[in-house]
């Protein structure tokens, strides 16, 4: 089992890609701390699914846009399972607004949830890893839009671009402590954040046509890569981004 007896925090862990990562990590033997800010009943249901499969999980309602919320998650991991081995910075939001439309409030909310949480989550997890003295992994769930513009969703792209440089720089800084920092960058995924696209047959057809593999990813396909990157299978991989996008970034309309 790739994550046997490892303790993993997953922010935004009760839906979408986060939920899939929780289930995939638990199946590989991990102990899970599930962060959530809404729908506690879904978290309870997810914990039950993990336990039915023989795994261990606890939930914590925490605002990861604040240092207090992030610290509470680290403390929960240590209290529940004795240590922390992997932090998955998965929680994220978007506004689908352009640079001309985005309000200060919208910008701040996106940057706080997507980037500030990853920055200080990295800081707090790294301090815990150093205290334990055996390294650890920080896995940021970024996006193809850390590198690939998405007009009409500017604040989101800015947050993911910042996450890219966070990973590259923090990975260099923390390498001496045996801490790996990585970005996992999905393309289009069948999750609630893409519900409006999936509900529009025309938009969905256009999107699928732009993806060389011809379809959106399923959350579990992203989750399986997350497990590999968090495990010792990827022990020599750090300070970089891994794209899982069905080839969408390389697509071309041709001539």
Q: Which residues are the active-site residues?
A: 156
- Which alpha helices (DSSP H) does the chain contain, by range? 16-27, 40-52, 67-81, 104-111, 117-132, 154-174, 195-198, 201-210, 219-230
3-state secondary structure of 152: coil
3-state secondary structure of 35: strand
Helices and strands in the chain, H and E counts: 9, 7
Order the strands of the 136-141 sheet from edge to edge: 56-61, 31-36, 7-10, 86-89, 136-141, 179-186, 240-244
Count of C-beta atoms within a 10 Å radius of residue 181? 28
Angle between helices 40-52 and 16-27 in degrees, nearest 10: 20
Paired strand residues for 136 = 179
What is the bridge-based pairing of β-strands 7-10 and 86-89?
parallel
Q: Which 8-state DSSP code applies to residue 213?
A: T
């Amino acid at each position: 089992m790739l994550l046997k007896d490892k303790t993993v925090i997953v922010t935004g862990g009760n839906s979408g890609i986060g939920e899939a990562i929780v289930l995939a990590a638990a199946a590989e033997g991990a102990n899970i701390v599930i962060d959530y800010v809404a729908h506690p009943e879904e978290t309870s249901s997810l914990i039950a699914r993990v336990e039915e499969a023989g795994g261990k999980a606890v939930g914590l309602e925490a605002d990861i846009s604040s240092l207090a919320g992030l610290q509470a998650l680290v403390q929960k991991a240590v209290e529940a399972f004795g240590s922390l081995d992997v932090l998955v910075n998965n929680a994220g939001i978007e506004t689908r607004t352009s640079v001309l439309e985005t309000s200060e409030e919208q910008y701040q909310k996106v940057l706080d949830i997507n980037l500030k949480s990853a920055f200080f989550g990295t800081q707090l997890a790294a301090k815990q890893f150093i205290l334990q003295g055996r390294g650890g992994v920080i896995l940021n769930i970024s996006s193809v839009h850390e590198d690939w513009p998405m007009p009409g969703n500017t604040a989101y792209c800015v947050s993911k671009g910042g996450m890219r440089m966070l990973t590259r720089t923090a990975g260099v800084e923390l390498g001496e402590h045996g801490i790996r920092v990585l970005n996992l960058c999905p393309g289009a995924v069948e999750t609630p954040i893409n519900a409006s696209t999936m509900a529009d047959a025309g938009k969905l057809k256009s999107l699928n046509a732009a993806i060389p593999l011809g379809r959106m990813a399923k959350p579990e396909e992203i989750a399986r890569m997350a497990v590999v990157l968090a495990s010792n299978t990827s022990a020599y991989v750090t300070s970089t981004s891994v794209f899982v996008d069905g080839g969408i970034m390389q697509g071309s309309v041709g001539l």
